[in-house]
Amino acid sequence: MKMNKLYILFLALCLVGCAKKQPEKLPMKELHSEADLTGLRVGVQTGSTYDLHLSSRNNIVKMGYNSVSDALLALSQGKLDVFVDDESSIPLDEQKRLGIKVAFYGDEAIPCAFPLRKGDNGLRDSLSHFIDSLNATGEMKEIHDKWFLNETPSQLRIPDLGPEPTGKPILVGAVSELPPLSFHVASDWQGFEPEVLQRFGRYAGRPVKFEHYPLTSAISALQSNKIHIIIGGIFITEERQKTMDFTSSHFSVRAAYYVKDENGQTASFGNKLKDMFYNNLVVEDRWKYITDGLWETVKISLFSLLLGTLFGAGVCALRMSRSKGLSKIAKIYIDLMRGIPMLVFLMIMFYVIFSKTGLGGTAIAVLAFAMNFAAYVSEMFRTSIQSVSKGQIEAGLALGLTKWQTFWHITAPQAVKSVMPVYKGEAVSLVKNTSIVGYIAIQDLTRASDIIRTRTFDAFFPLLIVTIIYFILAWLLGKALDLIVKSKKTTKNDHHKPFDKDLLRSRRFYTSGVERR
């Protein structure tokens, strides 16, 4: 009773504290230079040049974010005071829509260039010569100004440059999905850097093919020769020059310090919801990113489940083999797969083991997930098989059934019934784990939402859509597995009715014979 009174008193104090009027937020001071950042919460993209630049300052609260959209959401919610990024990262029309503005620009213009793999001197020299010629004639500035000085660069398109060459393709990894730098509409890449490379492709007589990569994955793909060039406004730094070669600089960019625009117009909730739906799904048919990504996720999930189940049955057979050598090999395989994080294993398969095979990313993802899934389900199968009473197996053999018949008619039905709950949970986990395939340049459901987020700077709506779709996929998969088990059970019962009667008579005869003895 005393504890209940103390609990009620504690709740009352909490309510009083919550009800206390909060102090009004003071307007943020005007920012004119980096010296004014003292004491403020400053957001940067993790691993960016700005992240490294501001790391030496101990008089600010530096906060790292994985994407621009996440940082802008924090800025709009008041969890962040300033966000630092390239001056070209957020177009003017998007700044107005998001209610942000540039407080000031950095003093130093940082040169950007195209990174290439160390040793690819021929491509580097040819592209550098092409860039130097565009800089000399002023054509590079014309292309730059066309994209960067336009208030709505997302509406621009690369002009017709003539028929595409038929030579060996130049494979490009794009780490930016933001106009005016580089972005894609439907299956075509647009923007300043794609136009420069498309013009170079005509000059060199080679077609240019683009794939979207996260920055860290693009560097791995470059070093494993899966791509030849990276685009995305990459700064030339001494540290990067140790692991990559750079072409001549094709443009320079300043840092922009973005803050919330207190004078910006605030839309109603209904209008915000309408704008979110329109911007994330309707504009440029962005809903197609979701449908294409969903199809990719479904393909990888289903083929991984089927192949992984077959692999798992094989590993289980080896694990239960009378041969100690085969059983030991199976156990090592299981321990290895369980001990390696799935993301690390996937990237090793793509960038190391199958880097020079020409095998597509989807096929490698299916193989990697199937191998991982097999390690887990093999132990499920083994445990469920061993849970069947030995007496039932011995009875089946005593009735004259072969080992295979005994397994198929007595052991397997009980093992399947026992393993299905945990198998279903592992299958659902596999579907959810496929969300990491974007690291090997596969545009799955999660990667599709990331692409939309980088275009709209909306950190919430695309993730909500993807969350709902993953929930529906998991629910449908669980229902499908339940239906398969029920249908197999019904079919077995109907198919083996004569056998069951004979088996029952045999059991009675066998039992009565034992009793007579």
Q: HSE (CB half, 13 Å, CA atoms) of 414?
A: 15
Are 187 and 84 contained in the same domain? no
Range with the largest mean pLDDT of 5-14, 185-194, 369-378: 369-378
One DSSP character per residue, 179-248 reads TTTBEEETTEEESHHHHHHHHHHHHHT--EEEEE--HHHHHHHHHTTS-SEEES--B--HHHHTTEEE--
Considering the domain architecture, whether residues 343 and 263 belong to the same structural domain is answered as no
Instruction: Please list the residues that pair with 500 across neighbouring strands.
Output: none
446 and 317 co-located in one domain: yes
Which of 461, 94, 428, 474 has the alpha carbon at shortest distance from 290?
A: 461
Residue 176 lies in a domain: yes
Residue finishing a domain among 201, 233, 268? 268
Is 512 part of any domain?
no
The highest-confidence range among 87-96, 345-354, 416-425, by mean pLDDT, is 345-354
pLDDT value at 175 more than 90: no
Residue 265: predicted pLDDT: 57
Do 75 and 126 lie in one domain? The reply is no
In three-state secondary structure terms, 341 is coil
The verdict on 413 and 302 lying in the same domain is yes
The two three-digit tokens of residue 127, written as one number: 């592209």
Q: Are residues 82 and 213 in the same domain?
A: no
- Say how far apart CA 503 and CA 296 lie, in whole Å: 48
Q: Do 461 and 434 lie in a common domain? A: yes
The 3-state DSSP class for residue 118 equals coil
Instruction: Write down which residue in 221, 249, 277 finishes a domain.
Output: 249
Indicate whether 75 and 147 sit together in one domain: no
500 located within any domain: no
CATH number of the domain to which 53 belongs: 3.40.190.10
Residue 10 included in any domain: no
Gap between the Cα atoms of 445 and 294, Å rounded: 5
The CA distances from residue 489 to 392, 406, 418, 425, 493, in Å, are 19, 17, 13, 20, 6
Maximum average pLDDT range among 37-51, 128-142, 426-440, 473-487: 128-142
Same domain, 318 and 336: yes
Q: Do 351 and 460 have their domain in common?
A: yes
Least confident range of 208-217, 234-243, 261-270, 360-369: 261-270
Q: Is 474 part of any domain? A: yes
Q: Is residue 503 part of a domain?
A: no
- pLDDT (tens digit, 9 = 90+) per residue, 3-17? 455 445 554 555 444
Report the share of the chain in percent with pLDDT over 70: 87
74 domain residue, yes or no = yes
DSSP string, 42-94: EEEETTSHHHHHHTT-SSSEEEEESSHHHHHHHHHTTS-SEEEEETTSS-HHH
158-172, 244-258, 390-404: which range is least confident on average? 390-404
- Domain check: are 125 and 155 in the same one? yes
The CATH number of residue 403's host domain is: 1.10.3720.10
Q: Does residue 295 lie within any of the structural domains?
A: yes
How many whole angstroms separate alpha carbon 479 and alpha carbon 483? Answer: 6
Task: Identify whether residues 149 and 298 lie together within a single domain.
Answer: no
For residue 317, pLDDT beyond 50: yes
Q: Which two tokens stand for residue 499?
A: 């056998």
Q: Which of 209, 239, 268 is the last residue of a domain?
A: 268
Question: Has residue 92 got a pLDDT over 60?
Answer: yes
Separation between Cα atoms, residue 65 and residue 43, nearest integer Å: 7
Domain count, the chain: 3
Q: Is the pLDDT reported for residue 494 higher than 70?
A: no
- Structural domain that includes position 227: 115-249
